Amino acid sequence: MDQTEAQRRYFDSHAASYDEYTAAGAWTPNQYLAGVLESLTAGGVEVRTALDLGTGTGQTLAAVRAAFPQATLWASDLSPAMLRRAALKVPDARFEVADISSHVAGLTESFDLVTAIGCLEMVPDLMTVLPQLMDHVNPGGHLALTIEPLIDGAGAEHAAHPHSSADTDEPRWRYTWSTARLLHALPGGQLRSSHLFTAYHRASRPVLYELLLIGKG
Ligand SMILES: C[S@@+](CC[C@H](N)C(=O)[O-])C[C@H]1O[C@@H](n2cnc3c(N)ncnc32)[C@H](O)[C@@H]1O
């Protein structure tokens, strides 16, 4: 079984319990995202079209909908079971079952806002995907992304960690990137804000995320 199929099966099998598992502060990124989206609305930024990658059960998509009630929303995820739950939260979004790499490679629309929360660390060819994604952000548009940042890698720019069955049952690899490397892969992107925070706990240890808001032109 390849990595994408293993991830699909993992998230399909956890779709029913995901919202309960992430409730009560156990999954914090969308709270931070809501603050970032608020800063956009406070700054008068208009979002008419938005794309959410790695939508899951729709927690991120619901935050985008709350911030931009009039926007047309697109959403994709490799797990059909997760997306079925997202469709209950934000029924008027346009949903597509796809892995991020092939979805981005096949994009025909462009967006004022792209969100990708809690998923890019599972994309092995992220440095190829990001420049393609940037081509589909409108001038004046924004990307709001989380990564598992590489902050203690002693000069390494990229690291892949096979999951350890002793730690967790998650059948996936995680890829960490330095912020500088990520920004380098987003030509024309300007860093507007960065938040470093504990996103959740894995095997009782805190997992650090960086939430980046990047503006285009
Ligand atoms: C931790 S959840 C985050 C979902 C949502 N953004 C949130 O904050 O609740 C990660 C989601 O990313 C999806 N995912 C993981 N790797 C992916 C990939 N390569 N392509 C598309 N979706 C992926 C999973 O199916 C899962 O629904």
**pLDDT tens-digit readout, 66-78:** 999 999 999 999 9
Atom 21, ligand 1: residue with shortest CA distance: 99
DSSP 8-state symbol, 121 = G
- Mutate which of 122, 147, 207 for ligand 1? The one with the most ligand atoms within 8 Å of its CB, which is 122
Q: What is the pTM of this model?
A: 0.94
Structurally, how many domains does the chain consist of?
1
List, for residues 35-45, the tens digit of each pLDDT value. Answer: 999 999 999 99
The response to whether residue 30 sits with its C-beta less than 6 Å from ligand 1 reads yes
Please state the length of the chain: 217
Q: Please identify, by atom number, the ligand 1 atom nearest to the C-alpha of residue 117.
A: 6
Task: Tell me which H or E stretch contains 112.
Answer: strand 111-116
Report pLDDT digits (tens) over 73-109. 999 999 999 999 999 999 999 999 999 999 999 999 9
Domain that holds residue 25: 3-216
**Nearest protein Cα to ligand 1, atom 20:** 99
* CATH code, 183: 3.40.50.150
pLDDT band at 1 (very low <50, low <70, confident <90, very high): low
Average pLDDT in the 130-136 region?
Answer: 98
Q: Tell me: the pLDDT tens digits for 159-217?
A: 555 444 444 555 456 888 889 999 999 999 999 999 999 999 988 889 999 999 999 98
Q: Where would I find the beta strands (DSSP E) of 65-184?
A: 72-77, 94-97, 111-116, 137-147, 158-162, 173-177
- Cβ atoms of 148 and 51 within 8 Å: the answer is no
> Which whole number is the average pLDDT over 149-163?
54
Mean pLDDT for all residues in the chain: 91
Is the minimum distance from the CB of 115 to ligand 1 under 6 angstroms?
no
Strand 189-202 and strand 205-216: the pairing is antiparallel
